[in-house]
Amino acid sequence: MLLTLSTTYEPATDLGFLLHKNPARAQQTQLPVGTAHVFYPEATSERCTAALLLEVDPVGLARTDGFVLGQYVNDRPYAASSLLAVALGKVFASARRGISRERADLVDRPLPLEIRLPALSCRGGADLARRFFAPLGWDVDARPVLLDPPEWGASSTVDLRLTGRQRVADALNHLYVALPVLDDAKHYWVGTDEIDKLIRAGSGWLATHPERDLIAHRYLAHQRSLSRVALERLGLDEPDDPSPDRPLNRVRQEAVLDALRAAGASRVIDLGAGSGALIPALLADPRFTEIVGVDVSAGALAAAARRFDRLPERQRARLALPQSALTYTDARLRGYDAAVLMEVVEHVDPDRLPALEQAVFGAAAPATVIVTTPNAEHNVRYPGLTGFRHRDHRFEWTRAEFAAWTDSVARRHGYTVVRKAVGADDPEVGPPTQLAVFSR
């Protein structure tokens, strides 16, 4: 299995200092499943390419836990998977940590990079590869590899090419997490130590990734107890629907995006944006030409700024992150097509809700306002849950309470309102999330 990493930064051979691998000679590293080779097919001042080739030992593979059918014919020695992730983690350990004594000035500098994985095992196909890498700032060219004969259709293997300006350390950590997640398998036993690996490799981007629930669940081998701990450590401790491949956070974001598209919005304010959970999905859709993430927390906005500062310039130009309190009128927030309050109102003290209402619906007054909030009635469907779904919630509304509040707000400020279910709509207790779309 093969991975190549190229740059056109000049002098391009400085890539060797960041990877801690000399372009002038090939190097080998022995692993339990075979031999990892690092070499440079090209190394000039204009362009430099480092290649990681994993030569799998069939005997070693058959002895590895997790591949009970490893002794039979399969794609494990050829399609990039967790085997390649382990090799990448081993041979580029210092590079992943962002260490370079010789070129310390380059460690934190986004460089023009191109990554190629000609055979990537991807359960979910090219679309999932795009959903993983595009929110991280990569331009993604993902093409399914056709079977032979072609009439058999496409395989689960993808020919992947990524281009963008990234820190080398970030690029390697993106791959380190992506390989086992997209393959949806690990060739070794997954325990609690894997949580630490995920948190370290996902530092600065995983918490705000729109697919973070799926990433955590797959990376931790579908062990919900482990993925729940990982999400708690990321500050994302809301329970999800039972289906691991359709996490509630993802379903909610899709519902909000659908409502924005239906409203024809292009200039959008994300109110209570925090560290930017919704922003990657907004940036991934070019129809949203101006995106403003607003929060009262300077720390959350600083974290978001660090994360999004690594995006290509054309995407960064569409984003602003001003600090503002949602319970105070702010003239900067007027004139936008739509405002989103996604899982925000329940964090506001009830006696401050009228101030939020006036600031958003009265003063800012966008053409469309989208509000989501938990449905308190659905909490009985979460085993072991006592109290509210999040430690910072001030209240959680039933469907009737949410309907009463949305109707009264719409009436006072000249909007119409439509409410929708988000997630599986339980016939007894309703959906886990309730959504309202206000239109002027």
Q: What is the pLDDT of residues 321-342, one digit of tens each?
A: 999 999 999 999 999 999 999 9
Confidence (pTM): 0.56
The closest alpha carbon to 53, from 68, 35, 74, 67, belongs to 35
Q: In what order do the strands lie in the sheet with 48-56?
A: 27-31, 34-43, 48-56, 2-7, 111-121, 154-166, 139-146
Q: How confident is the prediction for the chain on average, in pLDDT?
A: 87
Classify strands 48-56 and 2-7 as parallel, antiparallel or unpaired.
Answer: antiparallel
3-state secondary structure of 330: coil
pLDDT for residue 67:
46
What length does the chain have?
440
- What is d(CA 202, CA 40) in angstroms, rounded to the nearest whole number? 27
pLDDT for residue 12:
95
Q: Which is higher by pLDDT, 394 or 384?
A: 394
- What is d(CA 261, CA 306) in angstroms, rounded to the nearest whole number? 28
Burial 175-187 (b: 16+ CB within 10 A, else e): bbbbbbbbbbbbb
In this predicted structure, which of 16-25, 55-64, 375-384, 424-433 has the lowest mean pLDDT?
55-64
Q: Which is higher by pLDDT, 51 or 382?
A: 51
Q: Which is higher by pLDDT, 408 or 236?
A: 408
pLDDT for residue 304:
76
Instruction: Provide the pLDDT confidence category of residue 65 given band limits of 50, 70 and 90.
Output: very low
pLDDT for residue 270:
97
pLDDT for residue 189:
73
pLDDT for residue 104:
87
Residue 364, C-beta contacts closer than 8 angstroms, at least 6 positions apart: 269, 330, 333, 334, 336, 339
Residue owning tokens 């944006």: 273
Q: What is the pLDDT of residues 276-299, one digit of tens each?
A: 788 988 998 999 999 999 988 776
CA distances from 180 to 86, 163, 199, 217 (A): 10, 21, 15, 11
Q: What is the pLDDT of residues 240-250, one digit of tens each?
A: 554 444 578 78
By the 8 A CB rule, do 325 and 296 touch? yes
Instruction: Provide the pLDDT confidence category of residue 69 given band limits of 50, 70 and 90.
Output: very low
Instruction: Provide the pLDDT confidence category of residue 70 given band limits of 50, 70 and 90.
Output: very low
- Once rounded to an integer, what is the mean pLDDT over residues 71-90? 76
pLDDT for residue 61:
58
- Once rounded to an integer, what is the mean pLDDT over residues 120-128? 91
